[in-house]
Amino acid sequence: MHIWVDADSCPVAIRNILFKAAKRTGFALTLVANRPLRVPKDDNILFLLVSAGSDAADLKITELAIPEDLVITADIPLAANVIQKGCLALNPNGNLFSDDTIRARLSMRNFMETLRASGIKTGGPKAISQSSIKNFADQLDKILTKWLANGI
């Protein structure tokens, strides 16, 4: 089992939770970004630098992730792609994407993109809250506990 992180937009607090979890469990953790990031020196924590471009990290994660892997991302199209491959997708707010929810999320994203393209200001994402960080940590713990219980 492998944890992939779309690290270009992943909050530092979430990355720190992932670093601790990878050290504690021994699961492989790879952060993928198109700019250099600091990661702890640990055998199971890796950093993969991809070429510049808004979708370069997404494309690399989609290429490398295999069924049952966990992908941490706020990017709806990336989540849809990896779910289609049989992966789990968790956003930094702790919401687990599913086949049922991803279609509605993609529709809303496309609608908002249309609004922005027509000149309507929709605002950016809010800063991550303490409750979202806790929700993420709880959801990650559930997933990792299940993996460990299944001997994965």
Domain 2-147 sits in CATH at 3.40.50
Ranges of H-type helices in the chain: 12-25, 56-64, 76-84, 99-117, 130-149
Look at residue 9 in the predicted model and tell me its pLDDT: 85
Domain boundaries of the chain, sorted by first residue: 2-147
* pTM for this prediction: 0.85
Give which of 152, 8, 4, 25 is closest to 90, Cα–Cα: 4
Q: What is the mean pLDDT of each run of 10 residues along the chain (152 residues)?
A: 94 97 96 95 96 89 97 94 96 91 67 68 76 97 93 66
Look at residue 122 in the predicted model and tell me its pLDDT: 63
